Amino acid sequence: MNICMVGTGYVGLVAGTCLADFGMNVTCVDIDKEKIDRLNRGEVPIYEIGLSELIARNVKLERLRFSTGLAEAVDRSLVVFLAVGTPEGEGGRPDLRALYEVARQVGACMTEYKVIAIKSTVPVGTSREIRRIVRQSLKTPIDFDIVSNPEFLREGAAINDFLRPDRIILGSDSERALAIMRDLYRPLYLLKKPIVSTSNETAELIKYAANTMLALRISYINEIANLCDLVGADVYDVAVALGMDKRIGPKFLHPGPGFGGSCFPKDVKALAHLAQEHDYEFRIVDAVVAVNAHQREVILNKSRQTLGGFQGKTVTILGLSFKPDTDDTRESPAIHMAQALLREGAAVQAYDPAAMNEAKRVLPQIKCDNNPYSACENSDLVMIVTEWNEFRDLDLARVRTLVRTPNLYDTRNLYEPSQVRALGFNYLCTGRSAVK
Ligand code: NAD
């Protein structure tokens, strides 16, 4: 099958590459010429484990190509995926301009039947609007179908998630399109991955409902952690015990500085906005947004109190990406912390295994070091903000000799409090401050 993937970002590049690996002929299209040129030179613009090898293999086998030429790629393909960004717009409403522009362009160059599959995360009703835009842009009347096919991959585990999804959602009222999409996903179906066929509107809502549910769990455990600090309980044991309950399960119950990334923050706000548009006050979603913003303040307040203000102090941030195993710093809690620290007069030193270039683009004032130890030199407070594996077993005795003032804020609870305190640190954490 010939596939066109419009938008070659985290989702489009991974999805396009994995489909090529199933043996399909995939053209990944983007308006960013520099990105396409880099990919054609064999450079991979994002950090994602295993991706460069997979791209190289499929390019070599001539099943995967990169182009800025949309018309040619559409012409060659039966399925056209739309995977462009849908960032947060005004008032939490997703900004769909890029997506609508692509729909116009795809409609304008279609000469025969296509399935247009929306992979981008979009509000309910978007598939209807895309159908209207494509129809309006057609040069001659041509049959086409729209399938809502939201993506659930996680950065840092994207290839595995795409190849082994918990489920595949296909929203469409066309049996013809559903049959084509089932055929496309057949390699996954052979791995017994269930396909949920539903309406476009339901498929669109499922994505927001899923992401908000996960964000809600993070906010919930963060509130429990804050309460643990007040009542002298240990959030680690609370979370473990909660997770043992089969009705609850252990995932997304790790307290920390709140969720970030390019999806959860904007998707939660988009769901709140959708509810507002329908005059529905979605209280729990509003609370998730507020709790998440508050969690960052909780950490900044404790840090401020510890240092007696940030002015003139040096703070080290370990981990800049919004989560481990990615270089994505969009809405990263670490970036938020660094901005607040700089605003209040601190000098910020940082280290991240993959995201320093990305971070420097938004925050050129931070001093990035090429290893975690030099980033700790003369620091008044070391904050572990992202739980990269390499921060789980730091030589803290060495860190203790490098810092100016021994304050360690382990926002992700990677260490045992007693061991860190035994090294002479003032140890701060999330929901475990009473643990001896
Ligand atoms: P991204 O910003 O990494 O990539 C989007 C790409 O689209 C960019 O390369 C951009 O240049 C390109 N683009 C923009 N306008 C274009 C146009 N007119 N023609 C061609 N290309 C164009 O975004 P992403 O993280 O891959 O997310 C894409 C969508 O998938 C979003 O809706 C997002 O919410 C959703 N999603 C993302 C993830 C994730 O983990 N990143 C997971 C699931 C779903």
- Considering the chain, what is the average pLDDT of its residues? 97
Closest CA to 111 of 69, 144, 67, 65: 144
Look at the chain and report how many structural domains it folds into: 2
Active site residues: 263
Task: Using the mean position of ligand 1's atoms as its centre, give its distance from the Cα of residue 85 in Å.
Answer: 3
Q: In the predicted model, what is the mean pLDDT of residues 13-19?
A: 98
Decide if 321 is inside a domain.
Answer: yes
Q: Distance between the two ends of the chain, CA-based, in angstroms?
A: 60
Q: In the predicted model, what is the mean pLDDT of residues 276-289?
A: 96
Pairing of strands 144-148, 114-118: parallel
Instruction: Judge whether residue 231 has pLDDT over 80.
Output: yes
Domain C-terminal end among 198, 220, 248: 198
Instruction: Judge whether residue 9 has pLDDT over 90.
Output: yes
135 plus 271 within the same structural domain: no
What is the position in ligand 1's atom list of the atom closest to the CA of 266? Answer: 34
10 plus 120 within the same structural domain: yes
56 plus 192 within the same structural domain: yes
Residue to mutate (ligand 1; options 4, 5, 11, 259; most atoms within 8 A of CB)? 11
Q: How far apart are CA 315 and CA 131, in angstroms?
A: 51
260 plus 179 within the same structural domain: no
Decide if 205 is inside a domain.
Answer: no
Decide if 135 is inside a domain.
Answer: yes
- Residue nearest atom 17 of ligand 1, based on CA coordinates: 31
| Burial grade of 338 (CB within 10 A; 0-12, 13-18, 19 or more) | buried
If phi over 0 gives left and psi between -120 and 50 gives alpha, with beta otherwise, what is residue 117?
beta
Residue 152 bridge partners (DSSP):
none
Q: In the predicted model, what is the mean pLDDT of residues 154-181?
A: 95
Structure confidence at residue 193 (pLDDT) = 75
Instruction: Judge whether residue 191 has pLDDT over 80.
Output: no
CATH number at residue 386: 3.40.50.720
Task: Using the mean position of ligand 1's atoms as its centre, give its distance from the Cα of residue 310 in Å.
Answer: 37
Instruction: Judge whether residue 261 has pLDDT over 80.
Output: yes
Digit-coded pLDDT (tens) for 292-327: 999 999 999 999 999 999 999 999 999 999 999 999
State what percent of residues in the chain have pLDDT above 90: 97
193 plus 312 within the same structural domain: no
Q: Long-range contact list for 180-188, CB < 8 A, 24+ apart?
A: 180/78, 180/79, 180/115, 181/79, 181/115, 181/117, 181/147, 181/149, 183/1, 184/1, 184/3, 184/19, 184/24, 184/79, 187/22, 188/163, 188/164
Digit-coded pLDDT (tens) for 65-98: 999 999 999 999 999 999 999 999 999 999 999 9
Structure confidence at residue 60 (pLDDT) = 97
Digit-coded pLDDT (tens) for 326-375: 999 999 999 999 999 999 999 999 999 999 999 999 999 999 999 999 99
Decide if 434 is inside a domain.
Answer: no
Structure confidence at residue 188 (pLDDT) = 83
Decide if 114 is inside a domain.
Answer: yes
Cα Rg, the chain, nearest whole Å: 23
Instruction: Judge whether residue 210 has pLDDT over 80.
Output: yes
Decide if 213 is inside a domain.
Answer: no
Q: How far apart are CA 429 and CA 416, in angstroms?
A: 10
Domain extent at residue 134: 2-198
Domain C-terminal end among 178, 198, 218: 198
Decide if 394 is inside a domain.
Answer: yes
Decide if 217 is inside a domain.
Answer: no
59 plus 149 within the same structural domain: yes
Structure confidence at residue 192 (pLDDT) = 74
What is the position in ligand 1's atom list of the atom closest to the CA of 12? Answer: 26
Instruction: Judge whether residue 134 has pLDDT over 80.
Output: yes
Q: In the predicted model, what is the mean pLDDT of residues 130-153?
A: 97
- Within 6 A (CB) of ligand 1 lie 6-12, 29-32, 35, 83-86, 98, 101-102, 120-121, 151, 153, 155, 262-263
Task: Using the mean position of ligand 1's atoms as its centre, give its distance from the Cα of residue 249 in Å.
Answer: 31
Q: What burial letters (b/e) apply to 376-399, b meaning 16+ CB within 10 Å?
A: beebbbbbbbbbbeebeebebeeb
188 plus 301 within the same structural domain: no
- Residue nearest atom 37 of ligand 1, based on CA coordinates: 11
247 plus 152 within the same structural domain: no
Task: Using the mean position of ligand 1's atoms as its centre, give its distance from the Cα of residue 13 in Å.
Answer: 9
- Residue nearest atom 29 of ligand 1, based on CA coordinates: 120
What is the position in ligand 1's atom list of the atom closest to the CA of 119? Answer: 30
173 plus 277 within the same structural domain: no
332 plus 419 within the same structural domain: yes
Q: In the predicted model, what is the mean pLDDT of residues 8-14?
A: 97
Grade residue 217 by pLDDT with cuts at 50, 70 and 90: very high
173 plus 285 within the same structural domain: no
Task: Using the mean position of ligand 1's atoms as its centre, give its distance from the Cα of residue 9 in Å.
Answer: 5
Digit-coded pLDDT (tens) for 239-249: 999 999 999 99
192 plus 238 within the same structural domain: no
Grade residue 436 by pLDDT with cuts at 50, 70 and 90: confident
